A and B are shown apart, each in its own frame.
Chain A
Amino acid sequence: MAGTSKRSTSPHASRSSSPKASPCEMFGYVGIEAVLDQLKIKAMKTGFEFNIMVVGRSGLGKSTMVNTLFKSKVWKSSPVNKLGPLPQTLQLQSVTHTIEEKGVKLKLTVTDTPGFGDQINNDKCWDPILNYINDQYERYLQEEVLITRQHHIPDTRVHICVYFVPPTGHCLRPLDIEFLKRLCRVVNVVPVIARADSLTLEERESFRWQIQEDLKNNGIYVYPQKCFDEDSNDKTLNDKIREKIPFAVVGADREHLVNGKCVLGRKTKWGIIEVENMAHCEFPLLRDLLIRSHMQDLKDITHNVHYENYRVHRLNESHLLTKGAGWVTLSPPTRRNTGGSSRGQRWNRDESENAC
């Protein structure tokens, strides 16, 4: 029991030094089980936090998707319309709400990225997004490193990034590939095929297969990552999910009457596309993955893997900090040869890091 290593990503991670434990048999009921209830009570009291980021070109239905996922008007309408013409630069917008269901309080933060991929020259358009994500890690790190710490450090780190792929039916575009390559190392990424109602079922399958090939050929690991499967149960469960990624989703926040039932859907001249119907689209799979089954897992991987990677990187680079008076350069800088510590330069990481 002492040696099961959970999610150690680097071979140099410190080994667990648990002492040798001898198993003992108990003769009767003691009541250790009750600790589970204690955990639940504590969790319900403190509440949960979840941060989701949606990335994609404008007009792919990101805001509608978020509204459908959380069954509420997270965004009143697409925020871009309110601001007039398309913004010249990529700006991130965040909204935070608390929602409650059966006594469980969830603090939900949704970050949207209007203007992504909309310019003529989209070079390095992922930088603001990467900076934002790393900023959240930085904030958490600063809180963690204080002398007098808060009881509960507010968690603003992005737990999942949903990437909307336009339904061209062919393959991933260069912008998609570049973006996914960089992001999958920093945050959990789930690609989805947006506006899937423009593809027939066969087209969906071939598109999905093509995207999976593209992801494999470019070394992009999307959530759920293979290397974090802990045991065979996890593996079988996640394999099923991995077969279906990217999900073909349709978002809708209007209700219509179908067969006497009120369902969420899109009404068109040739029929009503039901969002929650597995035969029509794969929205239920996405919802189950994000909320019903893997939410805690997403938070765990963000905290134990991505945040730790960031922390290692940041602490190793500390010799590039702004130097105060009396600073003596005793050892030559080992890795980066650029002086100064401008934040933007830090994110050009080697491709060989982060093996997963």
Chain B
Amino acid sequence: MTSSDVARHTVLQSLGGLKSCPSPQPGKEDKVDDSLRCLSINGRVGFENLPDQLVNRSIQQGFCFNILCVGETGIGKSTLIDTLFNTNFNDLESSHFHPNVRLKAQTYELQESSVRLKLTIVNTVGFGDQINKEESYQPIVDYIDAQFEAYLQEELKIKRSLFNYHDSRIHACLYFISPTGHSLKTLDLLTMKSLDSKVNIIPVIAKADTISKTELQKFKLKLMSELVSNGVQIYQFPTDDESISKINSSMNGQLPFAVVGSMEEVKLGNKMVKARQYPWGIVQVENETHCDFVKLREMLICTNMEDLREQTHTRHYELYRRCKLEEMGFKDVGPENKPVSLQEAYEIKRHEFYGERQRKEEEMKQMFVQRVKEKESILKEAERELQAKFEHLKRLHQEERMKLEEKRRYLEEEINAFAKKKAASELLQNQPLNASGPSVKKDKDRKKFRILVL
């Protein structure tokens, strides 16, 4: 082992050793930062197709997107999702009489040319239907946290397979606001406030065909100002990349989108368009002057799907992870300001936990033994008591018997005496009747006999 100890590797970042790289164009030598030099290449190397290699791998793996729809029953969530993805997800109408809010998740597989998308739609069933709505938003928050927790557990496992893991974290939350035209409901404000740090919220105004244009403008302004004044952070489309910053920033100004959903087709001119037919006219879903549906589809799917997933992973999930780990007592920096590795902290905690457990086991064992002893002594006591009672009863029984024996003997003696007397009187009767004296005597005897018998 000694040679390897002596020959410990030394990594030299030999940057200063290189003189300026010879380049055909002198202008190309710019330092990116202190530790990197920019090399210029003299021919075609061929890595410009690296993004294509990355895309190919992603195509092979498939994509995954999870949308959470929060809104009252009957506000048009399922219809909007059907319209967004241009398919019939066959979601049944839910009743208005649920006692509490439940979340229902369904997964679908969509394929468009070479892209496979695993889409999960999570619906809130029974939202806003209860008389007491205090507990309405808690199931939603719990669900989102549960998905983060599942991912965190997978990430912390020793033998894990993250590339195989079906990511169920919510990437976008479509919040459906009812088109009252006035302002946000308290329930909406409360729910959005509790969700804004956990998920990307995209508010939409549902059933927008019930609002006129002027009302809609005022409504949008009112909504945005309320959200801002209450500190609710909704999702802003990213504006840092030049190719999409212009369109994203203009869309940011038109939030929240007023949408209409419909899968029914109506004949308009010579085309069939998705629309809702009223006696006073036809509201076309894909007409930009009628509603903002097209903008929502653009922004949600075509332009920012990847950014939504990234925000979920790098911002919301990291926040959750940090809070959870800090809650469990892990820190990055130890008491003397030295970096503490998660490993050691975890090991220490594990040992503490095992120590606790052993101690508790001992305690429980002791208690158990104690209890057994107590029970035994109680039972012995009872046994002794029973024994004493038995003895007592036996004695009583004995006495009773003796008394009865006495009485019987006495009775027998009397019977004997009487029998003797009877025999004597019969003898007397058999003698001829001399005087009534014996009859008087007989009467007397008879009386005596009667008295005796009674």
B163 to A, closest residue via Cβ? A304
Q: Is A10 an interface residue (CB 8 A)?
A: yes
CB interface residues, A 30-49, toward B, < 8 Å: 30-36, 38-45, 48
Q: Which residues on the A side are within 8 Å of B120 (C-beta)? A: 19
Residue in A10, A92, A99 with the greatest tally of chain B CB atoms within 10 Å:
A99
**What 1/0 flags go to B10-29 for Cβ under 8 Å of A?**
11111101110110000000
Q: Is A257 an interface residue (CB 8 A)?
A: no
Q: A71 contacts B42, CB within 8 Å? A: yes
Q: A321 contacts B39, CB within 8 Å? A: no
Q: B53 contacts A147, CB within 8 Å? A: no
Q: B159 contacts A14, CB within 8 Å? A: yes
Q: B50 contacts A296, CB within 8 Å? A: yes
Q: A90 contacts B9, CB within 8 Å? A: yes
Report the minimum CB–CB distance from A156 to chain B (whole Å).
10
How far apart sit A48 and B53, CA to CA, in the bound complex (Å)?
A: 12
Q: Which residues on the A side are within 8 Å of B325 (C-beta)? A: 147
Q: B305 contacts A128, CB within 8 Å? A: no
Q: Which residues on the B side are within 8 Å of A261 (C-beta)? A: none
Q: Is B450 an interface residue (CB 8 A)?
A: no
Q: A91 contacts B53, CB within 8 Å? A: no
Q: Is B166 an interface residue (CB 8 A)?
A: yes
Q: B1 contacts A99, CB within 8 Å? A: no
Q: B109 contacts A24, CB within 8 Å? A: yes
Interface 9-mer from B179-187, B350-358, B372-380, B423-431: B350-358
Report the minimum CB–CB distance from B305 to chain A (whole Å).
5
Report the minimum CB–CB distance from B132 to chain A (whole Å).
32
Report the minimum CB–CB distance from B360 to chain A (whole Å).
14
B7 to A, closest residue via Cβ? A89
How far apart sit A89 and B54, CA to CA, in the bound complex (Å)?
A: 40
Q: Is A269 an interface residue (CB 8 A)?
A: no
From the candidates B47, B56, B343, name the one contacting A315 in the complex (CB within 8 A): B343
CB interface residues, A 116-153, toward B, < 8 Å: 121, 123-125, 127-129, 131-132, 135, 142, 145-149, 151
Q: A42 contacts B3, CB within 8 Å? A: no
B160 to A, closest residue via Cβ? A14
Q: Which residues on the A side are within 8 Å of B43 (C-beta)? A: 71, 264
How far apart sit A40 and B50, CA to CA, in the bound complex (Å)?
A: 10
Contact-residue bracket for chain B: 35 or more
Q: Which residues on the A side are within 8 Å of B304 (C-beta)? A: 38
How far apart sit A110 and B227, CA to CA, in the bound complex (Å)?
A: 52
Q: A147 contacts B330, CB within 8 Å? A: yes
From the candidates A42, A96, A127, name the one contacting B306 in the complex (CB within 8 A): A42
Main secondary structure of the interface of B (DSSP, over half): mixed
Q: Is B189 an interface residue (CB 8 A)?
A: no
Q: Is B135 an interface residue (CB 8 A)?
A: no
Q: Is A337 an interface residue (CB 8 A)?
A: no
Q: A26 contacts B85, CB within 8 Å? A: yes
From the candidates B51, B163, B322, name the one contacting A147 in the complex (CB within 8 A): B322
Q: Is B92 an interface residue (CB 8 A)?
A: no
Report the minimum CB–CB distance from A305 to chain B (whole Å).
10
Q: Is B110 an interface residue (CB 8 A)?
A: yes
Q: Which residues on the B side are within 8 Å of A26 (C-beta)? A: 85-87, 110, 112
Q: Which residues on the B side are within 8 Å of A240 (C-beta)? A: none
From the candidates A73, A74, A102, A230, name the one contacting B48 in the complex (CB within 8 A): A102
CB interface residues, B 36-56, toward A, < 8 Å: 36-56
Q: Which residues on the A side are within 8 Å of B318 (C-beta)? A: 148-149
Q: B48 contacts A101, CB within 8 Å? A: yes
Q: B107 contacts A19, CB within 8 Å? A: yes
Known: A8-B164, A19-B107, A38-B304. A128 touches B326 (CB 8 A): no
Q: Is B235 an interface residue (CB 8 A)?
A: no
A70 to B, closest residue via Cβ? B45
How far apart sit A13 and B61, CA to CA, in the bound complex (Å)?
A: 18
Q: A99 contacts B38, CB within 8 Å? A: yes
Q: Which residues on the B side are within 8 Å of A42 (C-beta)? A: 306-307, 310
From the candidates B3, B21, B298, B343, name the one contacting A123 in the complex (CB within 8 A): B3
Known: A29-B112, A72-B39, A146-B342. A230 touches B60 (CB 8 A): yes
B5 to A, closest residue via Cβ? A344
From the candidates A40, A100, A121, A344, name the one contacting B1 in the complex (CB within 8 A): A344
Q: A124 contacts B332, CB within 8 Å? A: no
A82 to B, closest residue via Cβ? B17
Report the minimum CB–CB distance from A8 to chain B (whole Å).
6
Q: Which residues on the B side are within 8 Å of A10 (C-beta)? A: 159
**What 1/0 flags go to A82-120 for Cβ under 8 Å of B?**
100000011111111111111110111001000000000
Report the minimum CB–CB distance from B3 to chain A (whole Å).
6
Report the minimum CB–CB distance from A215 to chain B (whole Å).
25
Known: A99-B41, A344-B1. A21 touches B108 (CB 8 A): yes
Q: B14 contacts A93, CB within 8 Å? A: yes
How far apart sit A311 and B106, CA to CA, in the bound complex (Å)?
A: 34
Known: A31-B297, A295-B50, A296-B54. A142 touches B341 (CB 8 A): yes
Q: B9 contacts A30, CB within 8 Å? A: no
Q: Which residues on the B side are within 8 Å of A32 (C-beta)? A: 63, 110, 112, 115, 117, 301, 305
Report the minimum CB–CB distance from A182 to chain B (whole Å).
12
Ordered by A's residue number, 26 sampled pairs between the chains whose C-beta atoms are within 8 Å are A1-B62, A12-B159, A13-B160, A14-B161, A16-B165, A19-B168, A20-B107, A22-B109, A34-B302, A38-B303, A42-B306, A43-B54, A71-B45, A92-B10, A92-B11, A93-B12, A94-B11, A96-B37, A97-B37, A121-B3, A124-B3, A127-B3, A128-B9, A132-B11, A308-B161, A319-B347
Seen from chain A, the residues whose Cβ lies within 8 Å of a Cβ on chain B are: 1-2, 5-8, 10, 12-36, 38-45, 48, 69-76, 79, 82, 89-104, 106-108, 111, 121, 123-125, 127-129, 131-132, 135, 142, 145-149, 151, 230, 264, 287-288, 291-293, 295-297, 300, 304, 308, 311-312, 314-316, 318-319, 321-322, 324, 326-328, 330-331, 344
What are the 4 tightest A-B residue pairs by CB atom distance, in nearest-first order?
A: A18-B166, A296-B53, A127-B4, A128-B9
**Given A36-B58, A39-B54; 11 other pairs, CB 8 A cutoff:** A24-B85, A30-B301, A79-B17, A94-B13, A97-B37, A147-B326, A148-B332, A149-B318, A264-B43, A314-B343, A319-B347
